Chains A and B, each alone.
Chain A
Amino acid sequence: MRTAPVGLRIGAPAFAKPGAIAAFIAVGCSGMIFGSGQFFESLLVVFAFLASISLGALIFVMINHVVGTTWSIVVRRLAEHLMMNIVYVAVLAVPVMCGIHHLYDWSHPELVTGDAVLTFKAPYLNVPFFIGRTAFYFIVWSALAIALFRHSIKQDGDGSIGHVESMVKISAPGIAIYALTQTFAAFDWIMSVEPHWYSTIFGIYYFAGSFLAINASLAVIVIYLRSRGSLNGTVTVEHDHDLGKYIFAFVVFWTYIAFSQYMLIWYANIPEETVWFRVRWDGSWKWVSLALVFGHFVIPFFALMSRYMKRNPRVLLAGAVWMLVMHYVDVFWLIRPAFSHGAARLVAADMTSVIGFGGAYVALFFHRLARYPLVPEKDPRLAASVAFENH
C-alpha cells in the first residue's frame, strides 16, 4: 500500500517568472502590428480556446467534488490551478471587448436597421448587454473558482473533512450555474460572430471540446511533471488510464454532438441554417472540416480505443497533445470562416497570440503551481487516490 505523499512541490521554471509572463503578454500584444483586424480575429480564437480549458477545469473540479471520486484527488490541484486561470482569461476578455465592432456585425446599428433578423435579436445582441453578460459570466466563474480553491488550500493546513463538505455544497449549485453561463457564453462569444445563424446545441458543443481539452491538458501536465521527477508514484499509470478514458469518451461525445448538429441541418436543408456549413465547405475550409472529421474523431477514436494505448505514457502524451491541437483547430473553424470566406488562413497574428497569450497562460499556471503543494496533501482521501487501481 502506497502512502500519502506529503510536501510535494516544484520550483517555478524560468518561463514562469513574472518577467517572463510580462514578456509573453508583450508578444501577444505585438500581434497588433499586423493590423487590428488580424489581431482581434486571432485573439478571439485564443481567448475562446484558453477559456475552454479553464472552464473545463472548473466543471472537472466541481463534478469530481459532487460525485466524490477518489481517483481524481491526485490531479485535483493541477485542475484547480487551471481553473483559477479563469481570472487571467477574464483579463483577456478586455481586449476582446475592445474589438467588438470588428468581430460582431450586430454591434453596428447601421447593419441592424433594415435587417429583420438582427432587429429581432437586438434586445439580446447589443453592446451594453453583451459586455454586461460577459462580465457577469466571469464574476460568477471567478467566484466559484476562488471559493473552491480557498477551501482546498485551507484543507492543506488543517486537513479538515469540513472543507470537503463545503466544496461539495459549492459545487452542486455551481454545476447548474455553470451549465447556463457556459452555454450563453458560447452563444455570445462564438456563435454571434455569425448572428443570423443559430443552433441550440452550440453550448454543449463548446462544452464537449472544453471537457476534452481539460483532460488532455491534465494528461500533458502530469506526464511532463513526472519527466521532471515530480509526482512519480503519486500520479500513476492508473490515473493516466482514467484521463485517457475521459479523453476517449469526449472524443466520442464531441463527435456525437457535432454530428447531431450537422445531421438536423443537413436533413432539414433550410438555407438560413445550411449556410453555416456551406461557408465551412467553401475553398480551403473544406480541408479544415475534413481535418476535424478525421483528426478530431476517426484517428483518435481508433488510436485511443485500447487499454494498452491509454496506459502507455508516450502514446497518451501524443494523443493528448494531438487533441489539444485539434481543439484549437475546432475553435478556429467555429470562428474564422466568418471573417475569411473561401480561404482558411493562419495569419501572423495567430502565431503571436498563441505563443504570447497561450504562453502567458501556461506560465501563470506554473507560477501558481510553484506556490502550493502539487497535491491536496491533507485531503483524507489522498492515500486512497494514490493507491487507486482500475479493474
Chain B
Amino acid sequence: MSAPAWGIVAVFETPAEILRAAEAVRDAGYRRFDVHTPFPVHHMDRAMGLRDTRLPWVILGMAVLGCATAVGLQGWAMGKGYPFILSGKPLFSLPAFVPIIFELTVLFAAFGAVFGMLAFNRLPALYHPLFKNRPFSRVARDGFFIVIESSDEKFKAEDVRKLFESLGAKEIEDVHD
C-alpha cells in the first residue's frame, strides 16, 4: 500500500510511563530513537542512555579562539598596523587589551554554545516526518511520545509494536516520511 514507514511512534500519558518506556527501549538495544514531551522530564538523559554532551569542548575551543583573536587583532592594530602612542603607554599594552579580550572570549564562547547546540541537535529543521502525524500534535499539551526510527539496525516493525504494546502505549502508529 505504501512505502515502508520512517518509524513507529507510541503515545504515553504520564512522565513516569515515558521514562519507563525510554529505559525499556534503551535496554532493548535500540539506538536511533527519540522522546518528545510537553516539558523537560528529569533523568530522561539517563533513561535514554545518552552520553554526556561534547558541547563544552566546542565552547572551550571557541573561547580560546576568541581570546587569540582579540590578542591578535589588538596587538597587530595597535602595535604594528596603526602605531599610535596613547597616554604614554607602550604600543603593545596588555592591560588595555583585557576588556576586549574578555568580551571576545565571552562572545565567541556564547556563539559556540548557541550554534554548537543547534548543530548537535541538527537544528533548524524545517521539516520532520512527525509533523504529519496527527496524534503528535498533543506533544505540546499532554502527550508523551517515543519514536523508533526504521533506520535503526534492530528495527523490525512487529518487534517494535510488541514492545510498545507491552509497555502499555495508548496509541501506536506508523510514521511516514
On A, residues with C-beta under 8 Å from B are: 259, 262-263, 266-267, 269, 305-307, 389, 391
B45 to chain A, nearest CB (A): 8
The reply to whether A259 and B98 contact each other, CB–CB distance below 8 Å, is yes
The reply to whether B87 and A263 contact each other, CB–CB distance below 8 Å, is no
Chain A residues in 8 Å Cβ range of B129: none
A238 to chain B, nearest CB (A): 12
A269-B87 contact, Cβ under 8 Å, with A389-B42, A391-B42: yes
Further 17 A-B residue pairs, CB within 8 A, beyond A263-B96, A267-B87: A259-B98, A262-B95, A263-B95, A263-B98, A263-B99, A266-B95, A267-B89, A267-B95, A267-B96, A269-B87, A269-B88, A305-B60, A306-B56, A307-B56, A389-B42, A391-B40, A391-B42
Chain A residues in 8 Å Cβ range of B40: 391
B42 to chain A, nearest CB (A): 7
A-B contact pairs, 8 of them (CB 8 A): A263-B95, A263-B98, A263-B99, A267-B89, A267-B95, A267-B96, A269-B87, A306-B56
B116 to chain A, nearest CB (A): 16
- Closest 5 A/B residue pairs (Cβ): A266-B95, A263-B95, A259-B98, A267-B87, A269-B87
* In the complex, number of A-B residue pairs with CB atoms less than 8 Å apart: 19
CA distance A259 to B89 in the complex (A): 17
Chain A residues in 8 Å Cβ range of B96: 263, 267
On B, residues with C-beta under 8 Å from A are: 40, 42, 56, 60, 87-89, 95-96, 98-99
Chain B residues in 8 Å Cβ range of A306: 56
A302 to chain B, nearest CB (A): 10
Chain B residues in 8 Å Cβ range of A305: 60
Residue of B nearest to A260 (CB): B99
Residue of B nearest to A256 (CB): B102
Chain B residues in 8 Å Cβ range of A269: 87-88
CA distance A389 to B99 in the complex (A): 35
CA distance A263 to B42 in the complex (A): 45
CA distance A174 to B40 in the complex (A): 36
CA distance A125 to B99 in the complex (A): 35
Chain B residues in 8 Å Cβ range of A391: 40, 42
CA distance A28 to B95 in the complex (A): 41
Chain B residues in 8 Å Cβ range of A262: 95
Chain B residues in 8 Å Cβ range of A267: 87, 89, 95-96
Chain A residues in 8 Å Cβ range of B99: 263
CA distance A269 to B60 in the complex (A): 35
A391 to chain B, nearest CB (A): 7
B126 to chain A, nearest CB (A): 29
Chain B residues in 8 Å Cβ range of A266: 95
CA distance A305 to B109 in the complex (A): 14
CA distance A267 to B87 in the complex (A): 8
Chain B residues in 8 Å Cβ range of A389: 42
Residue of A nearest to B88 (CB): A269
CA distance A236 to B88 in the complex (A): 54
Chain B residues in 8 Å Cβ range of A259: 98
B154 to chain A, nearest CB (A): 30
CA distance A391 to B40 in the complex (A): 11
CA distance A305 to B95 in the complex (A): 23
Residue of B nearest to A389 (CB): B42
CA distance A262 to B99 in the complex (A): 12
Residue of A nearest to B40 (CB): A391
CA distance A100 to B95 in the complex (A): 37
A261 to chain B, nearest CB (A): 12
A310 to chain B, nearest CB (A): 13
Residue of B nearest to A307 (CB): B56
Chain A residues in 8 Å Cβ range of B88: 269
B105 to chain A, nearest CB (A): 12
B39 to chain A, nearest CB (A): 13
CA distance A12 to B88 in the complex (A): 61
CA distance A269 to B40 in the complex (A): 54
B87 to chain A, nearest CB (A): 6
A115 to chain B, nearest CB (A): 29
B159 to chain A, nearest CB (A): 33
A379 to chain B, nearest CB (A): 22
